[in-house]
Amino acid sequence: MNSLVTRAATLDFSQGPLLMGIINVTPDSFSDGGQCLRPEDAIARAETLVEEGAVLLDVGGESTRPGAEAVSDEEELRRVLPVVEILAQRLPRVPISVDTSKAGVARQCLEAGASLINDVTALGDPGMPAVLREHGVPVILMHMRGDPRTMQANPVYKDVVAEVMSFFRARIAFAEKSGLPREKLLLDPGFGFGKTTAHNLQLLARLSQFRDLDLPLVAGLSRKSFIGRLLGGEESPLPPADRESGSLAANLRAAQEGAAVLRVHNVKDTAHALRLFKALR
C-alpha cells in the first residue's frame, strides 16, 4: 500500500518512510517525560518537529514504558485534549495521531480534530472499533506481549517474526469483521514491547517479511532500551539521551526493510540521514 488517506492529508509512502514526531505529554515517559506537560511546550515542540521534517505527529498522554502505571481516561484526556485541539487548528494539514488504547479518549480526541489512532493494544478496548468506524480514521495496530506492567517479564517466542505475523493476521481479520476497512490499517511490530534484545534484532533484520501483509509498517525504534543495552552493555546500558546514533542506524535499517513510517524523537537528524539514504538508493 503506497498511500494512506487521513482527514488532514494523504500520506504518500512511495518515496520511502515518512517521519512521525513524538510528543509525550506525560511526566514519566522513558525518554522525554515531563518536557511537554504544559500545552504551550507541547505545541512549540510540535511546530519544531514539523519544521524539521515530521509529516505526522503522535501525541501520547499515558506512558507505555516497561513498568508504567495506567492512568484514568480523565487524566489522559486532561493531558492530551488541549494539545490536540490547538494542533488541529494551528497545523490543519498535518495528521495528528493520538497514542491511546482507550475508546473514550480516542472519541474525544477525534472529535477535537485528530486524524488517526495509535493503539498499542491493537483494538483491545471492545469499544474502539465503533469509535474508529464512526469517524472513519486509520488506526495503527501494534503487537505487545502482555501489558506495560508485565511485558518484559521473561518474554519467550519460538519464532518472534512468525508469532507477530500470526498476531497481525488475527487482528486484521478482527478489524475487518468489526467493520474497519483494510485500507485504514497500519501495523507496528512493537519493538521493545515484550521482546528481548535478540527478539528486537530478529524483528528488525526480518522486517521486510511483514510486507507480505500489504499494509504500511510503522517502526518505533527511537531510543529503545535494547539500543542502550547493545551500545553500553547489559549491566550499564546507555541512557536514552545517548542512544541517538544507535537509533539512526536502526531507523535506516527499518527504511531499508520497507518501513512506511518511522516514529522518532529526533526528527532533524533522522530526516538528514534519510535524505542521504534515499540519494544513495
Residues designated catalytic: 224, 263
Sequence-distant (6+) residues with CB within 8 A of 15 are 278
Query: What residues form DSSP beta bridges with 219?
Result: 262
The string of DSSP letters for 131-193 reads: HHHHHT--EEEE--SS-TTTTTSS---SSHHHHHHHHHHHHHHHHHHTT--GGGEEEE--TTS
Beta strands in the chain (DSSP E): 3-5, 10-12, 18-24, 56-60, 96-99, 116-119, 139-142, 185-188, 218-219, 261-264
